[in-house]
Structure 1
Amino acid sequence: MLEILYQDDVLVAVNKPAGMLVHRSWLDRHETQFVMQTLRDQIGQLVYPIHRLDRPTSGVLLFALNSEIANLLCQQFQQKQTEKQYLAVVRGYVTGHGKIDYPLKIQLDKIADKFSQQDKAPQSAVTFYEGLQTVEMPYGVGRYATSRYSLVRLVPKTGRKHQLRRHMKHIFHPILGDTQYGDLH
């Protein structure tokens, strides 16, 4: 059962748990649980996803309850009239705010992009960040005597694959728990 955060006659927002796919994909045929189908069964009507979150990402996921509203909201996202914001806990101290303007090379899926050109040029990628809170814990990690973390607000201005995770790694503040772009601690 999904936690419904908001619902009216045309929209429903849910708390997507980490590890769950938004919808079915032929790349993940073995998966049996999806947010879209779970929500449809839970509220008893068709739902239309407005955006997606990566499988390892938890957060608010917005669905329309009819295709017309879905089309309108998707257009707003495409025309940059709607902004996504993310909160993340990262390694180290992030204070103040800034802009990460670091082009990202397209990451191809092993199966889906098997026949795609492998050496594409990096694409523009921009993320704004703001350090909200810091904490230091008396537990050693690796070569460090203590553990330092920051809560940051991330606002992507482009939508590249794993953009936030890759950008935070680029500025040496990987997202906590990200074993692909961060570390195992």
Structure 2
Amino acid sequence: MKTTQTDPNIEIIFEDNHLLVVNKPVGLLSQEDHTGDPDILTLCKEYIKKEHNKPGNVFLGLLHRLDRPVSGVMMFAKTSKAASRISEQIRQRTIKKKYLAVVTGNPPPNGYLTHHLLKDEKTNTVQVVKPNVKGAQDAKLIFQRLDSVDDNHLLKVSLITGRPHQIRVQLSEEGYPIFGDQKYGKSNRSTTALHAYSLELEHPTLKKEIFFSAKPPQFTPWSKFSTKLFT
């Protein structure tokens, strides 16, 4: 397994001249913020600079974000051409994103959720609101329950729209919050059991379908479930 050899160390899932795909660890920022804590964008730039002997500033396009407590597949563009073409796929909603989540409560075997969400930029929180509220965005997802152990349920979630905190807010609103989610699940745990499991898209230059996936971290509550469910 190739890694970035940074602190923290990050697993590299795929790399070519245009893309860098990694498995983001839990607790790592997607990009730099006011805290000054390590972020995955800066660490991946450090890796590219060292690995490929790049002089000066390294270009690395941040194509999407994962919340700090969320782990999983993150993709970066190593060229402006790749950044532009993948950003267009994101706008057209042709990229397929799947997540794994461990929730509490009593979710049904399958579900289709649609809400309108409003983000408060000052508090960095999202709430469900009525459709006519100014600034509200529609949010849609589907899920399948893969397994249940005690009061923990493993869901596979497919995003139809991509909104900030969408999965966390929508599942919580329905009464099955994500295990360990302090912000939307009223938990006092230090981890949120949400993992960006896979990405499927068209390669920006080869024009062929590519697929990337990463297994979730093997600690509680993920370790309660068979690893066969993560393949």
TM-score scaled by length of structure 2: 0.65
1:93 to partner: Cα distance:
4.2
Output the CA distance in 1 between the equivalents of 2:137 and 2:95.
Answer: 22
Q: Is the 8 A contact 1:23 1:36 kept in 2?
A: yes
Q: Deviations over 1:105-141 (max 9, x none)?
A: x1212179xxxxxx636332111111111111xxxxx
Mean Cα deviation higher: 170-179 or 155-164 = 155-164
Alignment of 1:26-65 (within 5 A): 28-44=33-49, 45-65=58-78
Matched, 1:20 2:33: no
1:83 to partner: Cα distance:
1.5
Letter of the structure 2 residue corresponding to residue 50 of structure 1: L
Q: Pick the structure with more strand per residue.
A: 2
Where does structure 2 lack aligned partners over 5 or more consecutive residues?
1-8, 50-57, 125-132, 189-231
Matched, 1:129 2:143: yes
Letter of the structure 2 residue corresponding to residue 130 of structure 1: Q
1:46 to partner: Cα distance:
3.0
Structure 1 stretches of 4+ moved >4 Å: none
Letter of the structure 2 residue corresponding to residue 54 of structure 1: D
Provide the residue aligned with 1:149 in structure 2: 152
Alignment of 1:1-185 (within 5 A): 1-24=9-32, 28-44=33-49, 45-104=58-117, 106-110=118-122, 120=134, 122-136=136-150, 148-184=151-187
Secondary structure at 2:101's aligned position in 1?
A: strand
Output the CA distance in 2 between the equivalents of 1:13 and 1:135.
Answer: 32
Where does structure 1 lack aligned partners over 5 or more consecutive residues?
113-118, 137-147
1:164 to partner: Cα distance:
0.5
Q: Is the 8 A contact 2:29 2:37 kept in 1?
A: no
Letter of the structure 2 residue corresponding to residue 3 of structure 1: E
Q: Is the 8 A contact 1:22 1:52 kept in 2?
A: yes
Matched length: 164
Q: Is the 8 A contact 2:22 2:74 kept in 1?
A: yes
1:151 to partner: Cα distance:
0.8
Q: Aligned-pair RMSD on alpha carbons?
A: 1.9
